[in-house]
Structure 1
Amino acid sequence: MSKTITTETSQLSVVREAILNAARWGITEFIVEIVKSNIDLLMTLDSDLRSIFHIAIAHRQENVFGLIYGLDTAKYNFIPFCDKNDSNMLHLAGELSPESQVKLQQISGAALQMQRELQWFKEVEGIIPPMLKLHTNGKEETPYETFDRSHANLVKEGEKWMKDIAQTSTVVGTLIITIMFAALFTVPGGPDQDTGVPLLLRKKLFKIFIISDSISLFASTTSVLMFVGILTSRYTADDFLKSLPNKLIIGLSSLFISIAAMMVAFSSTVIIMVKGQLEIVIPIVLLAGIPIGLFVWLQFPLLVKIFISTYGPGIFDRKMKWL
């Protein structure tokens, strides 16, 4: 009889350790199947007195943490838990531990890494009762103090990353503004000597030139203003959640539009000048597409990542149902 009990205890210990490891590595399916067979296994704690949800937060495993939304009211049995260091869930979300840094390496750019950390902190903050938000742990720190201390270096790295992009893009935007502004006063065909009205005013290609030149000028001006806003930002931690990404999205998008419009203006001017000589027009128009392609290749993936990270569906599944 004692051997049977010992065997069952040993097997249960193995299962509990497997659940904890699954939480660390983000193996959600395993946890769901095991817990469905025995709901009491949800109360499994590791040596630091952390539940699978605390472990998921510490290791930044969003899929495992998302299981807490499938517990409905039962999730409030886990939220008040504190580990052996008296840290609650929000403390763990605010701590940039070695485990969480491993997950952050999958995200390119310090600013986007900082945004992801803020998304985690805000998500956990949303389910934590107000009294726990000011709870101090063994280091006598509130969750907010833990976050500020732990992320101080990442904030500096994010600031440098943002400013490097903004400074480089500002130079490009300023050059485009200068070129497009000058082009408006040196229109193809020149002005009428008596009236000052452009001679080719009624030509469709000339209208395309004027419209694309104006779009390029306005878009590049917008991009420069956005990048100046990035350079002069306060760079508080919360700025990395929405404010700075929004400015970067608008700045890069406007810069792309300005470059594309500039190439259209250039191509329309060439067509007017060579008067339909296709053997000259076609190669020049194709070459004009190279700068647009280079921008798409170099900067568009970054723009997409920032857009999805800021406006996408998010990494947390709040509608999960699994029990």
Structure 2
Amino acid sequence: MTYFLVIVAPVIKNIHEIKANNKLSILLVKRIIKIVIDKVDHDLAWNILGSAVATAVKYGTRELIEECMTIYPYIIWYHVDGYYLILEAIIQRQEQVYNLVHQMSGHKVFVAAQLHEKGNDNALHLAAKLSPPHRLTVVTGAALQMQRELQWFEEVNKFVRPSYREALNKMGKTPRMVFIDEHKELLKEGQQWMKDTASSCTVVAALTITMAFAAMFTVPGGTQVDGKPLFLNYNTFMLFIISDATALFSSSTSTLMFLGILTSRFAEQDFLYYLPKRLMIGLLSLFMSIAATMITFSATLVLVLRDKVT
């Protein structure tokens, strides 16, 4: 018990310190905003709070943006390199900031529909571009990064005007065309990553199938003259049979899922639901088969060494 407390106590202390620092930071932000607002100088408040909010959007500091927008709502119109805050949140892939601005802004439809003066890009064009490197590497694996990019594109696609979904920018490209061009290399990397992962896991699943199938016909202790297993009446033997059957069926399911991935067409939209779903089912089935194999092995040891164990 003492050893457990020694391990857990520092973790609890760190969590408490993080929460305490967060509360103090919020109080400090409120105080600074109040001092700026009390100056009754619009230009001063606009420049100071605007630059703070711009930095907060880039790094995803939701609390700072919330406090600034609550006390000084007009900051929603602040420009960051020609983009409104919600558009900058789309570019930086900051989900929490995007949701906050989207919910708090009374002009979200108008803001999202704005065109950038340089490239004539609307919100969907911006969402179609490749994420900044520091946001792209939030998830591991090119295939999952591609899924994240598609999810972000589809999320922005939900609230833009229907006419903007097929709008052309100055390069004559629709948002979908921009997405395809920007993600060519990531798509290739995702295809290779998915194929390598599926190939490796298929080999492991096939080996598990072989072991589980062989174990079913070479039961521990052998069989009697009439073909019945020698340990048929033992509860441990039933555990052996159930776990071995589970290993066989789950590894077979895993193999089918990974074969489905290997024979896929690997189109962009496949990375949104189809391929990740099959990958997750395959990995979960493979994990279950390996766990069932370990239980089968343990049950076999108990049966073979029952005299030594008892």
Aligned-partner residue type, residue 65 of structure 1? Y
Structure 1 Cα separation of the partners of residues 258 and 115 of structure 2: 43
Verify: 1:41 aligned to 2:72, yes or no. no
Aligned-partner residue type, residue 57 of structure 1? I
Q: Relative to structure 1, is the Cα distance of residues 208 and 46 closer, same or farther in structure 2, using a 3 angstrom cutoff?
A: closer
Aligned-partner residue type, residue 122 of structure 2? N
Equivalent of residue 229 in structure 1, options 255, 260, 281: 260
- 2:107: which partner in 1? 74
Any residues of structure 2 matched to 1:137-286 within 5 Å, and which?
137-193=169-225, 195-278=226-309
Equivalent of residue 52 in structure 1, options 69, 85, 88: 85
Aligned-partner residue type, residue 223 of structure 1? S
- 1:308: which partner in 2? none
1:229 Cα deviation after fit: 0.9
Equivalent of residue 61 in structure 2, options 23, 27, 36: 27
Aligned-partner residue type, residue 270 of structure 2? D
Conservation of the 8 A alpha-carbon contact between 2:76 and 2:105: no
Unaligned runs of 5+ in 2: 1-40
1:159 Cα deviation after fit: 1.4
Structure 1 Cα separation of the partners of residues 193 and 110 of structure 2: 41
- 1:101: which partner in 2? 133
* Alignment RMSD (CA, Å): 1.9
1:72 Cα deviation after fit: 6.3
1:90 Cα deviation after fit: 0.6
Overall identity of the aligned pairs, in %:
41
TM-score normalised according to structure 2 size:
0.81
Give every structure 1 segment of 4 or more consecutive aligned residues whose post-TM-superposition deviation is greater than 6 Å. none
1:196 Cα deviation after fit: 2.0
Structure 2 Cα separation of the partners of residues 143 and 180 of structure 1: 50
Which structure has more RCO (C-alpha within 8 Å, separation ≥ 6)? 1
1:10 Cα deviation after fit: 5.8
1:144 Cα deviation after fit: 0.5
Unaligned runs of 5+ in 1: 1-6, 282-323
Conservation of the 8 A alpha-carbon contact between 2:250 and 2:286: yes
- 1:295: which partner in 2? none
Structure 1 Cα separation of the partners of residues 154 and 290 of structure 2: 37
1:138 Cα deviation after fit: 1.2
1:41 Cα deviation after fit: 2.3
- 2:29: which partner in 1? none
Verify: 1:119 aligned to 2:151, yes or no. yes
1:106 Cα deviation after fit: 2.3
1:75-108 per-residue CA deviation (whole Å, 9 max, x = no partner) reads 12212101121001110110015xx222112221
Q: Relative to structure 1, is the Cα distance of residues 131 and 205 closer, same or farther in structure 2, using a 3 angstrom cutoff?
A: same
